[in-house]
Amino acid sequence: MATGQLFSRTTQALFYNYKQLPIQRMLDFDFLCGRETPSVAGIINPGAEGFQKLFFGQEEIAIPVHSVIDAACAAHPTADVFINFASFRSAAASSLAALKQPTIRVVAIIAEGVPESDAKQLIAYARANNKVVIGPATVGGIQAGAFKIGDTAGTIDNIIHCKLYRPGSVGFVSKSGGMSNEMYNTIARVTDGIYEGIAIGGDVFPGSTLSDHILRFNNIPQVKMMVVLGELGGRDEYSLVEALKQGKVNKPVVAWVSGTCARLFKSEVQFGHAGAKSGGELESAQAKNQALRDAGAIVPTSYEALEAAIKETFDKLAEEGKITPVKEVTPPQIPEDLNTAIKSGKVRAPTHIISTISDDRGEEPCYGGVPMSSIVEQGFGVGDVISLLWFKRSLPRYCTKFIEICIMLCADHGPCVSGAHNTIVTARAGKDLVSCLVSGLLTIGPRFGGAIDDAARYFKDAYDRNLTPYEFVEGMKKKGIRVPGIGHRIKRGDNRDKRVELLQLFARTNFPSVKYMEYAVQVETYTLSKANNLVMNVDGAIGSLFLDLLAGSGMFTKPEIDEIVEIGYLNGLFVLARSIGLIGHTFDQKRLKQPLYRHPWEDVLYTK
């Protein structure tokens, strides 16, 4: 066990099992104390490596993250404190691994419930190798103005209130972390504050004892008096009694053992800590308090009188000139986190993204304002979901059914079209699903599947301007523009695309109006008079019918319809639908274990 000071203003720690809030509190304490370097040198997060962004004052810093303890210790040889936030299941193994590192001097174990046999093994190893274990079941410790472990002393407001940003003259040790916070406040009210405070933890076998730390404090010149807060159960306090009797402590010790109320209960009482249970008269709070009093400690008559006893002891030392008044300093202002400041109404900040189609902040996600549960309970289909997310309204059932039919009809068109071909070649190159899908999607454009928007745009413009099919087609010809939605490499006037016929049949049966579709049919009649392959294709059918859907539903204004066509909603339908087929082709090639594709020479015209 160390015989003097554990920490200093240059102490650095390794933090095991990343927890954002305790680390940030440590860094905020560093800044409050005016440290030049952060007290957290590195983070050990099993299975992860890289960096973790945190704040050191107003500056954002990147703290290295290591996956194993020995690598972290090698990377940060000056970090000699190991703060272990592992669960009780792995705390012992990771703590022992840390103790075996030559660079680690102090290990703090936060977890409760560490098996007693494991705790004993850790204690034995630490004592044999002159190392210090704080805990298990501890909040940690603090040296005022220098270094703190994890959540010790709580919030920054509490730290400032307790004057922990600068050193005082009192050494404090307790079993309880929660009561430590209370005592820091009490000590700050009636003295110049603490110099160092340690919570050894409430387990039956703590890694270091009350007397271990009192003897350390006795060797630290800056510590002028000590305060001890024990509790019923166990016999740890008696080691302090023996140290006092043997004259090993020559500074005033104010002590109190909590749990005097246990005698009011008829049966044995287990208090909060594992070790806080009296196993007989010697382990009672009353017996311990009396033994400490008899050994020379200053023991008040009750906990309520503890503050007065601390004040009286401190004032006496000050009168004797043994304590030099501490020069008060004004700590720097810790920058407030943006989220905290926004919640408190202190600042306002612009958002970076606007979303109007979905919201995941409540108990369940909402699509277009409709809760997910309602979508399922009302039996909504894919078309209904698209209407909510794309059009921000719940369209009539015939509209959503039409959307679903479009998706089904456009899902795939065989392996020979450019999108499927690209996907197949990419899959056979051993690429992942997303790469295969994207390679196929990238072929969608004016020449393949991307003419739906243009078909809708041109058909709408021609119809709204009352152009005859002749005027429309010949006008496009003069501009050198092919009529989108007209023409097919395979289909002819006497061999119509079945998909087009199915869409037209559904629309004539269910739509209130099909004026745009009928106009497109008239255009087709004129183009077929020129060539038998200038038949309406699926792009033209979907484009014209979607205009009828938007106009006939009565749910969209003219500017909204123009915007929908302009943005590219209709091509979105083809992209969504064809993704189904492209994914299918990817899985098909991988399932068939097809080799790398190489295009045959005989299918290439080599020319100069």
CA atoms within 13 A on the CB side of 348: 1
Return the beta strands (E) in 57-101 as ranges: 59-66, 81-84
CA atoms within 13 A on the CB side of 550: 23
Structure-token pair, residue 44: 């050990």
Tokens 């196929």 -> residue: 440
User: Is-catalytic flag, 599?
Assistant: no
d(CA 42, CA 560): 55
Supply the DSSP symbol for 270.
B
- Take residue 306 and report the two structure tokens written for it: 């503890």
Helices then strands, counting H and E runs in the chain, come out as 23, 16
Name residue 596's beta-bridge partners. none
R_g over Cα of the chain? 39
Residues 6 or more apart whose CB falls under 8 angstroms from that of 572 comprise 390
Name the 3-class secondary structure at 147: strand
Instruction: Determine which one of 76, 213, 273, 488 is catalytic.
Output: 273
| List of residues 6+ apart from 344 with CB closer than 8 A | none
- Cβ distance 31 to 334 under 8 Å? yes
What DSSP character marks residue 430? T
Residue 107 to residue 189: CA distance in whole angstroms: 31
What is the C-alpha separation between 276 and 271, in angstroms, rounded? Answer: 5
The enclosing H or E element of 539 equals helix 538-552
CA-CA distance, 309 to 287, in Å (whole number)? 19
Instruction: Give 304: exposed, middle or buried? Use CB within 10 Å, 0-12, 13-18, 19+.
Output: exposed
User: Which residues are the active-site residues?
Assistant: 273
